[in-house]
Structure 1
Amino acid sequence: MNAVMPDREFERLQTLTFDSAQEGSIEIAREIADLIRDKAEKGEKAVLGLATGSSPLKVYDELIRMHKEDGLSFKNVVTFNLDEYYPMQPESVHSYVRFMKENLFDHIDIDMKNVHIPDGTLDIKDIYAFCAEYEQKIKAAGGLDIQILGIGRTGHIGFNEPGSTETSRTRLVTLDALTRKDAAAGFGGLDNVPRRAITMGVGIIMKARRIVMMAWGSGKAQIVGRMTEGEISDKVPATFLQKHENVTVFLDEPASQELTRYTTPWLVRECKWDDKLIKKAVVWLSLKINKPVLMLTEHDYNESGLNELVTVHGPVYDLNIRAFNMLQHTITGWPGGKPNADDTQRPERAEPAKKRVLIFSPHPDDDVISMGGTLDRLVQQGHEVHVAYQTSGNIAVSDDDARRYARFVKSFNDHFNFSTPESKSQFKEILGFLNAKEEGDIDSFAVRAIKGKIRREESLAAMRAMNIPEERVHFLDMPFYETGKVRKNPLSEEDISIITKIIEKVQPHQIYAAGDLADPHGTHRVCLDAIFASLEELKDKDYMKDCWVWLYRGAWHEWPVHEIEMAVPMSPEQVHRKRKAIFHHQSQKDNVMFQGDDDREFWERAEERNAKTAELYDSLGLSKYAAMEAFVRYIF
């Protein structure tokens, strides 16, 4: 953990940065447990304000562990939840009543009479009186001892969206469009997300004696920066926390990346200037003032707060050349290494000339979306390329697609008299389930199987387009994913064993893996953790000593230019071939199940991202290309 007190010139809230969300969550759980035990010793109630969503899940997991293994009792605990969707039935899979029971209350010894959650079943005329009574119950309990919060990308706390005032009360609110889009994955589509919610007001939250804010993942970095360093404004309700006397913001490293002490540490403190930081500073300066690296002057450095860098590592001409060379050496048209070439200034080794390459793809399309051009080039240059799809991706197939494919196969079999009594029964079961399925129902095993088959065949079609033989395409179907729900099971030894076996089978010289961790609780994070665990287990094997690991990012984010260690240019023809490969994933086109806040199709997002990377290299004074894919090396 890296505990950091804020520099008051920039950060207006105390922040603690941890290596992972897991570590930060354990620390929060310990603070809550200490409060509960301290209150119990005094014969008092501990009054907790609780949050929902993905951010507090690991906190609740640790509290459950403490209850079961350490004897932590919740008999003296009173809880008040921040919010609830409206309208919402408590037994709905989407209700926060059910969320809290499944993720905390059902696993501890709390008296459910002490649990309070806004009521989503109320007649709208009764909401005002209920909200007033809710606040009175908090007051009667002695007020909130500690309120835990997550932060939405709009800057909301609870469901206090932009425009909420500092003194706002518990009330019915309309949800921001971005908040609804972020929730769409859990609801199986944007149309199913409620438009309103009942929320505790900012004014009530601010009365808590202690506030703990948590934010995990790079997807929260931008709003964390605004909350922590921005001016107080109702446009970002979380900035009101700057006025509270006892707030701590718990972050992991990715969520911290937009804070000034990370983006431009030379503006905050004296720096230890190594090559990475020099490259970061020079790239920042070049992009900031829109001048190529080799044209930067001493005046440019001094005017932008980099006079210390010039003093320590100048003159400026040498700094410019040094940074330019570091950038230039990342560019290669030979991602598998260029045979019979001097590789001292190249990102990859020349030998062996023909490498065994293992590309891990968390979902059945991340490979072509994120590194389709590089994959194409590796194949063209004669390397033995294997692709391993880590999960089935079945949850991302719509019911309409599953129904359409099932009807087609049934019709085909009936027409050609291929049907058997068993197959007819199976199709009847599948179609019957889909026709009777209600919103929130978990797919049956048979339905999940057909959805997984759809994605498998799409992947094979994309690989044929990339000239990869079917025997080099591996479907791992990691068990953690197969819940039928958005929330997956924890990573298990069985998951790790599956990764280990495929690495042992291929014995690769190169591994490519998804390092896109915008959602630290999502599939990409678990898939990467499994790979890291397997690498740790295998690192002493002789064949692994000659294996390099490269991390790519997904459809939404790219590595910052200063972090890129290998940039692979793409010709217009390769961009087109990559697009065609993505098109083979037809179930993920048009009305995508988990669209996020970007309405474009995946091929459009990927092409924009790749073109942007090439434009950045061009603006820095490097060669101009149509598009580039970027990678960072992982040392294990």
Structure 2
Amino acid sequence: MARLNLLESTRYEKLPVTVYPDQRSASLAVAARIAKLIREKQALGKPAVLGLATGVTPIQVYAELVRLHREEGLSFANVITFNLDEYYPMLPEAAQSYVTFMNEHLFAHIDISRANIHIPDGTLAPDAVAPFCLAYEKQIEELGGLDLQLLGIGRTGHIGFNEPGSAPNSGTRLVTLDDLTRRDASRDFGGKQNVPVKAITMGIGTIFKAREIILMAWSRKKAPIIRKAVEGELSGEVPATYLQLSDHVEFVLDEGAASELTRFDTPWLVKDCVWDNMLIKKAVIWLSCTVGKPILKLTEEDYNSHGMAQLAVEKGPVYQINIDIFNQVQHTITGWPGGKPGADDSQRPERAEPARKRSIVFSPHPDDDVISMGGTFIRLVDQGHEVHVAYQTSGNTAVWDDDVLRYVEFAIDFKESVGEDTARLRGIYEDMRTFIEAKLPNQIDTREIRDVKGFIRKTEAIAGARYAGVPDSNIHFQALPFYETGKTKKNTVGEEDIAITMELLQRVRPHQVFAAGDFADPNGTHLVCFNIILAALNRLKESEDWVKDCWLWLYRGAWHEFATHEIEMAVPLSPAEVLRKRNAIFKHQSQKDRPVFPGDDEREFWVRAEDRNRETALNYDKLGMAEYAAMEAFVRYRF
């Protein structure tokens, strides 16, 4: 299994780190290590005592252990498990309980004895919690301690539920959850207000006693906290940094989670590099930001003093490097996202011809189009291109229940005002009220409620697209089946999802496709929707000639923004265009003020978008480019 563990490049890292190309290969490797431990203990006639974690991170590890049991005869008869934590209070049969999680992903599928499974009890009376925690510790000690402890890491740096401020010698106990931790869990509970405030967790001291500790992390979303945990100073504000004191810990990461470690983010600081154009561009922009100078004012001394002497020697003189990178960045700026007709396009991000292009903006949720590229969207329409927008999902899980009642009340009043009978609608309305009043966290809505939530988001999307100037005939609602589960957890992508997307692409035959490349969205929908588009285009290119002339552009903005060195097209927005974009976002009233799932950013979506667009323009300005009010950024994906 391929690893990217570069031992010679880890002088900034204070504990062992192994990096795999992706989450799957890393998970398989961890599962293989657990299986090896279990078999070694079996051969000795001893139990294997495992500390287990929950959450998204270990799911593929558990899936592989289940496969090893079913297909390769791995027995868990000698395995004793202790889970890290549990919400408090929490019923074991609740959908969000870690009892339910472990049964669903592991215990119900293997031959482990139920007597050997230990999970903190979320049903205890308050005065019974402390004695339970002491007994939990004693059980582990009587077994000789944990052979292996699996960990994930929260974005506060917590391990288990040991939040910032936890002591390094802490034991199993009741804790109060950090607000960020509760926000991260909000999607599982149907809103932060439903997430318990407390939890029972093993302590850092308990974890430290394990003979082997594996901390796993996946995706760029975890990259900032991984850098703090691996390269930062010991701090109670980042509990995972205490693992630096252990001689038997290993961090197992995918490329995304490792991306902000020095050896990957700024490799010139730790080793000699192979200087391709992208790395040179990244390094020069980094140097410009680090020393606070425009690109054209960087000197050889700046290069030599910041780990870039090798670049200066191999590719210099440095002024020529500066000019080359300055020109590359400058050439990404265009006021013509569909290409400038009749212009020399050799140094422009988009082709000049055809002068009037067919463009499809794919929007995973009904508001991603205007939030992430609303200014460019409007610019394409204003410049005469045939613009289509495709809303890939209904977004019906992200509408407040009281909005449903409000809209149905409006419908009743309207029908009565024109003399129509409302008896049936009133019956549906009363059923809705009854359901909502008794609704449990993340309970699946009735079909009628899901429909109304979908209608709300559909009408808002139509209003936004119309405001951008798109005719109704070019507004497409795909309602991809993978999304329509009524739950926050969606189905896997099926053939129908791809077929629906292929049909639209064949009908429009676009020269440009814009797709969400913001894969850090907390629900994962952006990545799923992008993969559907990519699968459709890859299939079509085998038989459809127009696909060869179709360019795929990725946009971001709702959750993160592209790094400056990655940007291939930057579309400047005037103050008036920023206001037009804001007004388009405002059409999505159900997402205004306080959306159901705000993610880790408390700002409203329109504020996030404007701040990020302003920051992109400011970054260009600092590099020595022209000063603009705002910029939307794009990266071309070559499929």
Q: Identify unmatched segments of 5+ residues in structure 2.
A: none
Deviations 1:27-54 (A, max 9, x none): 2223223333343344433222111122
Question: Aligned AA for 1:3?
Answer: L
Aligned partner of 2:626 in structure 1 is 623
**Kept in 2: contact 1:4–1:17 (CA 8 A):** yes
- 1:411-490 alignment to 2 at 5 Å? 411-419=413-421, 422-490=424-492
Aligned partner of 1:4 in structure 2 is 5
Aligned partner of 1:563 in structure 2 is 566
Relative distance call for 1:445 and 1:574 in structure 2 (3 A) is same
**Kept in 1: contact 2:4–2:21 (CA 8 A):** no
Identity of aligned residues (%): 58
Aligned-partner Cα distance in 1 for 2:24–2:363: 24
Question: Aligned AA for 2:526?
Answer: H
Deviations 1:483-517 (A, max 9, x none): 22222222233322322222222221111111112
Aligned partner of 1:544 in structure 2 is 547
SS of the equivalent of 1:287 reads helix
Relative distance call for 1:495 and 1:234 in structure 2 (3 A) is same
In the comparison of the two structures, how many residue pairs are matched? 636
Which of residues 286, 300, 303 in structure 2 aligns to 1:301?
A: 303
Aligned-partner Cα distance in 2 for 1:402–1:536: 39
SS of the equivalent of 2:153 reads coil
**Kept in 1: contact 2:53–2:151 (CA 8 A):** yes
Aligned partner of 1:139 in structure 2 is 141
SS of the equivalent of 1:4 reads coil
SS of the equivalent of 1:198 reads strand
Relative distance call for 1:386 and 1:256 in structure 2 (3 A) is same
1:362 lines up with 2:364 in the alignment: yes
- 1:496-575 alignment to 2 at 5 Å? 496-519=498-521, 522-540=524-542, 541-575=544-578
Q: Which moved more, 1:388-397 or 1:47-56?
A: 47-56
Question: Aligned AA for 1:409?
Answer: A
Deviations 1:46-73 (A, max 9, x none): 2221111222222223333344444443
1:233 lines up with 2:235 in the alignment: yes
Aligned-partner Cα distance in 2 for 1:260–1:593: 36
Q: Which moved more, 1:515-524 or 1:9-18?
A: 515-524
**Kept in 1: contact 2:303–2:309 (CA 8 A):** yes
Aligned partner of 1:277 in structure 2 is 279
Aligned partner of 1:127 in structure 2 is 129
**Kept in 1: contact 2:557–2:612 (CA 8 A):** no
Aligned partner of 1:594 in structure 2 is 597
Question: Aligned AA for 1:338?
Answer: K
Cα shift at 1:439: 3.0
**Kept in 1: contact 2:405–2:429 (CA 8 A):** no
Question: Aligned AA for 1:431?
Answer: R
Relative distance call for 1:26 and 1:474 in structure 2 (3 A) is farther
Aligned-partner Cα distance in 1 for 2:243–2:390: 45
Deviations 1:452-500 (A, max 9, x none): 1111111001011011112211112122222222222222333223222
Relative distance call for 1:432 and 1:183 in structure 2 (3 A) is same
SS of the equivalent of 2:4 reads strand
Question: Aligned AA for 2:574?
Answer: S
**Kept in 1: contact 2:79–2:112 (CA 8 A):** yes
Aligned partner of 1:332 in structure 2 is 334
Relative distance call for 1:14 and 1:491 in structure 2 (3 A) is farther
Aligned partner of 2:191 in structure 1 is 189
Aligned-partner Cα distance in 2 for 1:182–1:219: 12
Relative distance call for 1:425 and 1:332 in structure 2 (3 A) is same
Aligned-partner Cα distance in 2 for 1:55–1:171: 23
Which of residues 60, 63, 72 in structure 2 aligns to 1:61?
A: 63
Aligned partner of 2:33 in structure 1 is 31
Deviations 1:199-245 (A, max 9, x none): 00011111122222111222211100011111222221111222222
Q: Which moved more, 1:226-235 or 1:501-510?
A: 501-510
SS of the equivalent of 1:394 reads coil
Cα shift at 1:377: 0.8
Cα shift at 1:520: 7.6
Aligned-partner Cα distance in 1 for 2:451–2:70: 36
Cα shift at 1:349: 1.1
Question: Aligned AA for 1:151?
Answer: I
Aligned partner of 2:585 in structure 1 is 582
Question: Aligned AA for 1:379?
Answer: V
SS of the equivalent of 2:606 reads helix
Question: Aligned AA for 2:565?
Answer: H
Aligned partner of 2:402 in structure 1 is 400
**Kept in 2: contact 1:151–1:238 (CA 8 A):** yes
**Kept in 2: contact 1:3–1:15 (CA 8 A):** no
Q: Which moved more, 1:184-193 or 1:588-597?
A: 184-193
**Kept in 1: contact 2:443–2:487 (CA 8 A):** no
SS of the equivalent of 1:432 reads helix
- 1:171-210 alignment to 2 at 5 Å? 171-210=173-212
SS of the equivalent of 1:335 reads coil
Aligned-partner Cα distance in 2 for 1:471–1:34: 60
Question: Aligned AA for 2:515?
Answer: A
Aligned-partner Cα distance in 1 for 2:113–2:405: 45
Q: Which moved more, 1:495-504 or 1:168-177?
A: 495-504
Aligned-partner Cα distance in 2 for 1:480–1:76: 39
Cα shift at 1:591: 2.1
1:289 lines up with 2:291 in the alignment: yes
Cα shift at 1:426: 3.4
**Kept in 1: contact 2:512–2:552 (CA 8 A):** yes
Q: TM-score, normalised by structure 2?
A: 0.96
**Kept in 2: contact 1:217–1:517 (CA 8 A):** no
**Kept in 2: contact 1:410–1:419 (CA 8 A):** no
Which of residues 339, 343, 346 in structure 2 aligns to 1:344?
A: 346
Aligned partner of 1:162 in structure 2 is 164
Aligned-partner Cα distance in 2 for 1:100–1:412: 50
Aligned-partner Cα distance in 2 for 1:341–1:466: 26
Relative distance call for 1:74 and 1:497 in structure 2 (3 A) is farther
Aligned-partner Cα distance in 1 for 2:528–2:80: 33
**Kept in 1: contact 2:442–2:488 (CA 8 A):** no
Aligned-partner Cα distance in 2 for 1:60–1:327: 45
Relative distance call for 1:259 and 1:107 in structure 2 (3 A) is same
Q: Which moved more, 1:572-581 or 1:477-486?
A: 477-486
Question: Aligned AA for 1:4?
Answer: N
**Kept in 2: contact 1:89–1:121 (CA 8 A):** yes
Aligned-partner Cα distance in 2 for 1:46–1:414: 69
**Kept in 2: contact 1:385–1:468 (CA 8 A):** yes
Aligned partner of 2:151 in structure 1 is 149
Cα shift at 1:573: 1.2
CA root-mean-square deviation: 1.8
Cα shift at 1:259: 0.7
**Kept in 1: contact 2:557–2:608 (CA 8 A):** no
Relative distance call for 1:194 and 1:137 in structure 2 (3 A) is same
**Kept in 2: contact 1:150–1:157 (CA 8 A):** yes
Deviations 1:547-571 (A, max 9, x none): 1111111322100101111111111
Q: TM-score, normalised by structure 1?
A: 0.96
Cα shift at 1:395: 0.8
Aligned-partner Cα distance in 2 for 1:322–1:465: 40
Relative distance call for 1:192 and 1:280 in structure 2 (3 A) is same
Which of residues 299, 321, 324 in structure 1 aligns to 2:323?
A: 321
Aligned-partner Cα distance in 2 for 1:512–1:310: 37
SS of the equivalent of 2:244 reads helix
**Kept in 2: contact 1:78–1:114 (CA 8 A):** yes
Cα shift at 1:3: 2.1
**Kept in 2: contact 1:21–1:520 (CA 8 A):** no
Relative distance call for 1:44 and 1:488 in structure 2 (3 A) is farther
